[in-house]
């Protein structure tokens, strides 16, 4: 029982949470360019956090996508 009644617990994946946050950056915060985030991992390859980028300038999105692509290629 929670403060406002029964609490429904649902398990969702990290990717689902990240996509929901990405959607809010676009729809609620109003950013025009929100590329998919990159999962930052620790030495055991577990996701520690997601790195997001949001901008109103299309050129900024291209730059960030290029940087993230290099990071992904380096991580394998």
Q: Which helix (H) or strand (E) holds 20?
A: helix 14-27
CA angle at residue 46 from 68 to 9, to 5 degrees?
110
**What residue ranges do the domains of the chain occupy?**
14-75
What are the two backbone dihedrals, phi and then psi, of residue 20, each rounded to the nearest 5 degrees? -65, -40
Cα distance between residue 66 and residue 29, in whole Å: 24
Tell me the pLDDT tens digit for each residue of 34-74.
988 888 889 999 999 999 999 998 888 888 888 877 766 66
Can you tell me the distance from the alpha carbon of 18 to that of 13, in angstroms, rounded to the nearest whole number?
Answer: 9
pTM above 0.75, yes or no: no
């Amino acid at each position: 029982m929670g403060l406002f009644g029964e609490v429904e617990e649902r398990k969702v994946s990290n990717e689902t949470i990240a996509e929901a946050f990405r959607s809010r950056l676009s729809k609620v915060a109003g950013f025009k360019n929100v590329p998919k985030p990159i999962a930052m991992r620790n030495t055991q390859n577990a996701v520690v956090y997601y790195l997001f980028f949001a901008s109103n300038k299309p050129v900024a999105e291209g730059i960030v996508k290029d940087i993230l692509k290099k990071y992904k290629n380096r991580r394998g």
